[in-house]
Copies of this chain bind each other. A is one copy, B any other.
Amino acid sequence: MIERLAIISPGLLGGSIARAAREKSAARRIAIWARRAETRTAIVKQPWCDDAPDTLAAAVAGAGLIIIAAPVDLIVPLTAEIAPHLTPGAIVTDVGSVKGAIARAGAEALSRAQSDATISGKRRDAASTANQFVGSHPMAGSEKTGWEQGTATLFEGRTCFVTPIETTSEAAVRTVSKFWETLGADVFTVTPELHDQIVAHISHLPQLLASSLCSFLAGQNPEWKNFAGGGLRETTRIAGSDPQLWKSILTSNQAPVLAALRGLQAELAKCEQALAAGDWDEVAALMSRGKAYRDGFKA
């Protein structure tokens, strides 16, 4: 069990982590820092929050595990901001949907703070008490947002990537992995770069497709949406996600997403050619390949 867990900038994921950590006894005490005072006032009344201090320094003081639950473009800046205030041996992780840009910069932010402290004589860490940044990505988003929408079961049976780099200690990977497993997630350890390639295909590409389909249909007769059956509803549900959140995800994963999108465009061009030529066997073959893939999903 984590003695003291700190959650920074809780949204849907941070609010769910706190609930799940309390319910599954993953942490003895849970401190939460939110930027807005009114959020701190509301959140400290929750049964899954023990402490909601005004400052980042107070929130991370004494915490063995710190989870930065902010949008991807704020994760590294927040890591740099908390770095000077961490307890020796503390481990920092995040929940960002991209990892290449974050895992390395996060680790650098911590080691820079530690060398500054060592030079100024404030700290003299042995390797075992050095702070560690280990990127995480629980694949448990939703089109919902806000800590109020969180649920303790959000991570159950979901994939959580943990993305160490060359300098990450095995102990830190173990601690972070164990935390997510306690919350019910299935943990996979991959490099940040492979992670980004995977999610470009299985998460960012479907998001762009759903958004593009809706954007296209909006330019047709928008009343047609009233006729939507289950297929269109399901296919497009994630188009309701927050565009600003996605803008920062896509900004941080440009090249892998572009490669995935171009691959899909090539597949659609094949489909279009078969349709135009009336090559129905080719159309059926494409659909059969798709069905075989989809039928292979875990239930």
Least CB distance, A298 to chain B, in whole angstroms: 7
Is the beta-carbon distance between B238 and A234 smaller than 8 angstroms? yes
The 8 A CB mask of A230-249 against B (1 = contact, 0 = none) is 11111111111111101100
A124 within 8 A of B: no
A120 within 8 A of B: no
Q: A142-167: which have CB < 8 Å to B?
A: 142, 158-159, 161
Least CB distance, A246 to chain B, in whole angstroms: 6
Is the beta-carbon distance between A213 and B218 smaller than 8 angstroms? no
Using C-beta atoms within 8 Å of the partner chain, give the interface range for chain A: 35 or more
Partner of A247, one of B220, B230, B283, B292: B283
- Select from chain B the residue with minimum beta-carbon distance to A205: B213
Partner of A209, one of B226, B235, B242, B263: B235
Partner of A229, one of B140, B283, B291, B294: B140
Partner of A294, one of B158, B188, B205, B237: B237
A284 within 8 A of B: yes
Residues of chain B with a CB closer than 8 A to A171's CB: none
Is the beta-carbon distance between B232 and A206 smaller than 8 angstroms? yes
The 8 A CB mask of A263-299 against B (1 = contact, 0 = none) is 1111111011001101010011111111111111110
Is the beta-carbon distance between B272 and A227 smaller than 8 angstroms? no
